[in-house]
Structures are given as C-alpha cells and as structure tokens.
Structure 1
Amino acid sequence: MEKHIEVSDPVLKSKIRRKEINFAGNQKLKIYGLLSCSSGKRMKKENRIFFISENEALENNYRPCGHCMKTEYKQWKNNS
C-alpha cells in the first residue's frame, strides 16, 4: 500500500508500467478500483492510495468500486 502524496509522478508512472501498482483506492472512503476508473481519476491526490493487488486492498478492508468493478462490488455487497 502506497500513498499518492508520497510518490513522485515519474516513480509512479514507472511502477504502473512495471505492474507494481494495479489498483487505486480512496483512503477516506475505503473504496478501491481500477486505475482507469473515471471516479478514481477525480479523487483528490491526498486521498489516493495504491495497491499492487486486489487482495492487498481487501486485506486492508477496502471495498470494490461500484463503477469500474461492478461484478466484484455485487459480490462484496451480497457477502456484507
């Protein structure tokens, strides 16, 4: 788990290219989703956190985004 405000843009881009970052989350709302999610792209930088895997996000008690991860969100909601 890595906070956006603690990573420079060149390092962030490099980590995304190398698949060291695959998901982003909102630290305040405890929601994670795809890096391409339009909702996630509007998030404030200070609230954004990055995960290497979906498991890492789930282990940290984040829930799937209802916009970009509809199937995962429905499963999460049914199990809650």
Structure 2
Amino acid sequence: DKLIVGLLQFATLLLLAWVGYLAQLGGAFYWSLLLAGALFIHQQKQIAGREREACFKAFLQNNYVGLVVFIGIALSYL
C-alpha cells in the first residue's frame, strides 16, 4: 500500500511537470513541484508505521500539496 501511494505521488508530479511544460509555465511552478515532492516525502515518512492517525494526517496534508501547486501556477502567470 505504501509503495502504491508513493508511485501515485511520483506519477502526479510527473504529469504535473508535463502539463506545466505544455502550458509553458515558469520557474515558480517547477519550484512548487519540488516543494510538493518534499511534502510527499514527508507524507511517506509519516505513513511508514501504518498507524491509522498518522495515515489520516498525511491524507489531510494533501491540501497543502494542492495549495503549493496552485501558488506555483499563480506565480507563473505574474
């Protein structure tokens, strides 16, 4: 289960990078993807023990991933 989550997180970053390339987004977007990747790594560390509360907390932190990517997109258009 952790492997699948990690692979899906990696696929998300790859697809977002591809979309960013197609949309010709700027450097701020790619920096936001690096930060999102760091957040994903943090989530992987959180779920390492497979504790229910830690897994749910990591799930809720996906809001921050979305926020970081949104800010990267917004800054690319400034």
TM-score for the superposition, normalised by structure 1: 0.24
Give the TM-score of the pair, scaled to structure 2.
0.24
Q: Quick one: higher RCO (CA 8 Å, sep 6+), 1 or 2?
A: 2
| Structure with the higher strand share, 1 or 2 | 1
